[in-house]
Structure 1
Amino acid sequence: MKIKQYRTQFIKELSPFYDAYEAESFFYLILEDKHKLRQIDLALNHELNFSESDFVIWNSLLKQLKKEVPIQYLLGKTSFYGLDFEVNENVLIPRPETEELVEWIINENSIADKTKKLKILDIGTGSGCIAISLAKNLPNADVYALDVSKKALDTAKRNSVNNNVEVTFMLKNVLELEALKSNYDIIVSNPPYVRNLEKVEIKKNVLDYEPHLALFVEDNDALIFYRKIAEIGKVNLLENGQLYFEINQYLGKETSDLLEQMNFKNIELKKDIYDNDRMMKGNI
């Protein structure tokens, strides 16, 4: 069968689960990953064919997509802030909103004096997307990252090697820490923040396949990680140190109030590209 014919069939079979644009994007992601062919290649050569062995691979992927397994997990990779990252069931798939958080930190800390060192800690690093992107774009920074999951850290370590940056990784449960052994100029975290009551808003591909450990918190203490990380920041941030968070869009005021009660200064709340309260910064 010609690839162009299969494309029509592929999109049609996914139509009960995804809109046509998304289904088409899946097709071209797989085409480039498995065959090194781009959309333009198919447009220029309508006679390209799939082999029998190709059909086995494509039909297997199609079956998984119908179960709403994330395409990133099926391909084992995704892009974030211009870099390639391995992703699997042990780590969250990086979101565009988190790229905005990384952009904010880079813009505020790209200094002309490259001899001045920055020390940065990413808490709950997952795939390592925040830590690695910062290390790549802030060459004057020493970057550290911790996570409670060894499997997540193993993934993050591979990502740091593949992106040719040096990050020091630590296996720790932040909720069990009183303080850290070192001090930092910047602490950043995208911790679990989705309340159980918000599960009804979560799509099946996230709810059924992404790690709940990295997503959800109890309804009665939704800011548990923010409180703990802010407490650590009070002890381990250097003078004028910066604390950055990605936050629950519904809890912007509550998170801001928490930092204010803990005497953080210059608290700033920023919206994401979807106009949701999503990022917060405070200074020690």
Structure 2
Amino acid sequence: MKIKEYRSQFIQELTPIYDAGEAESFFYLVLEEKKQLKRIDLALHPDLNFSEEESVDWNLILEQLKKEIPIQYLLGKTSFYGLDFEVNENVLIPRPETEELVDWIIKSSSESKKSKDLKILDIGTGSGCIAISLAKNIPNSQVYAVDISEKALVTAQKNAELNHVKITFSNQNILDTEDLKQQFDIIVSNPPYVRNLEKEEIKKNVLDNEPHLALFVEDNDALIFYRKIAELAQKNLSENGKLFFEINQYLAKEMVELLEKMNFKNIELQKDIYGNDRMISCHC
């Protein structure tokens, strides 16, 4: 079958579930991964064909997409802050909003008087996307990362090797941690923050496939991770050190109040590209 003809079939079969633009983007992502061809290649060579074996492979991917399995898991990879990352069912798929958090930290560190030799801790690292992106973009930084999931840390370690950075990883339940044992110039976390009452807002492909351990918190104590990490930051942030969080857009006011009650200073709330309160930073 001609690839161009299959493209039409592929998009048509997915449009009841995804919009046409997203279905088309899936097609070209798979085309580049499986055949190392881009959109322009298909435009210039409309007579390109699939082999019978390739058709079987593509049909399998198509059926999995119909079940709303994320394309990133099917390909086993994604891009984040210009870097390549391996992803699987043990880690969350990195989001554009988290790229904005990383960008904020990098710009903040470059403006700091102490822009080199920063000691950074990423709590709840998952795929390692935050820690690795910071290590790659902040010269001479020492980056540490912790996660409760051993399987997630295996993936994060592979991603560190893939991107040629050194990260000190450790398996740790932050809620059971009383002291971080050393001082850090930056502590960052994108912890679980989606309340169970918000599950109905979550897309089926996320709800059915991504790890709930990294997503959800109980409705009656939605800020449990933030409060604990802030307590640790009070002990383990260096002088003029900064704490950064990605937050639940519906709990921005509560986050500011929490940090104020804990006597943090220079509390700054930032919106993401969609206009949602998504990031917060502060000093001890």
Please say whether Structure 1 and Structure 2 have the same fold, judged by a TM-score greater than 0.5. yes
Instruction: Summarize the Cα distance change of 1:144–1:94 in structure 2 as closer, same or farther, 3 Å threshold.
Output: same
Code of the aligned partner of 1:45: H
**Corresponding residue for 1:251?**
251
8 Å CA contact 1:118, 1:141 repeated in 2: yes
- How far has the Cα of 1:116 moved from its partner? 3.7
**Corresponding residue for 2:219?**
219
Looking at structure 1, the residues matched to 192 and 51 of structure 2 have their Cα atoms a distance apart, in angstroms, of 44
Code of the aligned partner of 1:75: L
- CA distances 1:10-62 after superposition (whole Å, capped 9, x unpaired): 00011110000000000000000000000000000011000000011100000
8 Å CA contact 2:116, 2:139 repeated in 1: no
Q: How does 1:111-260 map to 2 (within 5 A)?
A: 116-260=116-260
**Corresponding residue for 1:7?**
7
Looking at structure 2, the residues matched to 180 and 114 of structure 1 have their Cα atoms a distance apart, in angstroms, of 22
8 Å CA contact 1:114, 1:140 repeated in 2: no
Secondary structure of 2:249 counterpart: coil
- How far has the Cα of 1:115 moved from its partner? 8.2
TM-score by length of 1: 0.98
**Corresponding residue for 2:44?**
44
TM-score by length of 2: 0.98
Looking at structure 2, the residues matched to 188 and 113 of structure 1 have their Cα atoms a distance apart, in angstroms, of 19
Moved over 3 A (4+): 111-116
- How far has the Cα of 1:111 moved from its partner? 5.4
Identity %: 73
Looking at structure 1, the residues matched to 120 and 154 of structure 2 have their Cα atoms a distance apart, in angstroms, of 20
- How far has the Cα of 1:210 moved from its partner? 0.3
Secondary structure of 1:250 counterpart: helix
Looking at structure 1, the residues matched to 160 and 110 of structure 2 have their Cα atoms a distance apart, in angstroms, of 21
Secondary structure of 2:266 counterpart: strand
Secondary structure of 2:54 counterpart: helix
Code of the aligned partner of 1:65: L
Looking at structure 2, the residues matched to 115 and 19 of structure 1 have their Cα atoms a distance apart, in angstroms, of 44
| Unmatched tracts of structure 2, length 5 or more | none
**Corresponding residue for 2:97?**
97
8 Å CA contact 2:121, 2:187 repeated in 1: yes
Code of the aligned partner of 2:80: F
Code of the aligned partner of 2:23: A
- CA distances 1:106-157 after superposition (whole Å, capped 9, x unpaired): 0010259888410000000000000000000001210000000000000000
Instruction: Summarize the Cα distance change of 1:40–1:213 in structure 2 as closer, same or farther, 3 Å threshold.
Output: same
What's the Cα RMSD here? 1.1
Looking at structure 1, the residues matched to 114 and 52 of structure 2 have their Cα atoms a distance apart, in angstroms, of 55
8 Å CA contact 1:115, 1:140 repeated in 2: no
- CA distances 1:52-111 after superposition (whole Å, capped 9, x unpaired): 000111000000000000000000000000000000000000000000000000001025
Code of the aligned partner of 1:21: G
**Corresponding residue for 1:283?**
283
Secondary structure of 2:10 counterpart: helix
Looking at structure 2, the residues matched to 247 and 215 of structure 1 have their Cα atoms a distance apart, in angstroms, of 12
8 Å CA contact 1:78, 1:85 repeated in 2: yes
Q: Is 1:109 aligned to 2:125, yes or no?
A: no
Looking at structure 2, the residues matched to 196 and 110 of structure 1 have their Cα atoms a distance apart, in angstroms, of 38
| Unmatched tracts of structure 1, length 5 or more | none
- CA distances 1:231-263 after superposition (whole Å, capped 9, x unpaired): 000000011110000000000010010000000
Looking at structure 1, the residues matched to 151 and 243 of structure 2 have their Cα atoms a distance apart, in angstroms, of 26
